[in-house]
Amino acid sequence: MNKILVGSAKDQRNAEHEYEFTLLDFERIKNLIYKRAGITLSSSKYNMVYSRLCRRLRINGCNTFKEYLNFLERVNSSEWEGFTNALTTNLTSFFREQHHFPILEQHVKNRKNQNKIHLWCSASSTGEEPYSMAMTMVQVFKTFSPPVHILATDLDTNVLSKAESGIYPLERLEKLPKDKLKKFFLKGKGTNTGTAKVRPELRDLITFRQLNLLDDTWPIRGPFDAIFCRNVMIYFDKNTQYKILKKFVPLLSQDGLLFAGHSESFQHAADLIKLREKTVYELVKK
């Protein structure tokens, strides 16, 4: 059998790896994460997969990847969450892709006569994106109690927990302007020195919820005035992207906006959405 030797076979004791990792193991993992989360892993990711899943083997007392994957595939295995969380990437920052936020601000200003503004951050990660949206809404309405509700969802329960806490190391906030830092965060003291926490008024604008974009049904209701789905579609193939975009359509208001990541293009969904400006889409009028 062909093997990718990135594990600790007996003749590799000097290597840093603990386990032998076969090509069959990697192919099984690729298939499982695709079915579970729609993520497509290229062959260049096998070292990353190995390093991220080793801890899951240790936690579950498994001696081989084959044993772990057999355990994972058992009916109603509780390990699916740990497996999925380990393989999902959560790179984010406050006001990432800065050009989107003035667009969101103007979009909401044009709708200020509505009773309430509804926004959805569909890949919220550790919370920087929905909190950036919330800060923008406070600025638009010039109050910490704007008529706005933000739904923030993510597949990864670990990052959702961090997002809900709203606590960040100060180095994660270094790029924020000082006026925003002072206005929207409370600096930690004592045992919390070196961290800052979002103000509770900001936190109250957001509902955090676990959601898998690949699920057949989503337990949410629209319409949303804007949906942020940025830098997550790049992990899906075109067919999966189209299925997700098709489910976004009925959840967007007729003149709502869909914000995508800088490297994402949805030309294959031209019957559903069209480009309005740089990585910002609107519905195709039927």
Tens digits of residue pLDDT in 134-188: 999 999 999 999 999 999 999 888 889 999 999 999 988 988 999 999 999 999 8
Q: If you average pLDDT over residues 40-57, what whole number do you get?
A: 86
Confidence tier at 130 by pLDDT (50, 70, 90): very high
In angstroms, the CA 257 to CA 251 distance is: 11
Query: With contact defined as beta carbons under 8 Å apart, do 71 and 189 qualify?
Result: no
Residues 71-111 have pLDDT tens digits of 988 866 678 878 887 887 666 788 888 999 999 999 999 98
∠ CA 89-158-39, nearest 5°, is: 35
Termini Cα distance of the chain: 54
Closest Cα partner for 236 from 104, 160, 123?
123
Residues 174-184 have pLDDT tens digits of 889 999 999 99
The set of catalytic residues is: 52, 154
List the structure tokens of 179.
């006026």
Confidence (pTM)? 0.76
Quote the DSSP letter at residue 20. Answer: -
Confidence tier at 33 by pLDDT (50, 70, 90): confident
The residue among 43 and 1 whose pLDDT is bigger is: 43
pLDDT score for 226: 98
59 by Cβ neighbours in 10 Å (0-12 / 13-18 / 19+) ranks as exposed
Q: Which helix (H) or strand (E) holds 228?
A: strand 224-229
In angstroms, the CA 121 to CA 51 distance is: 29
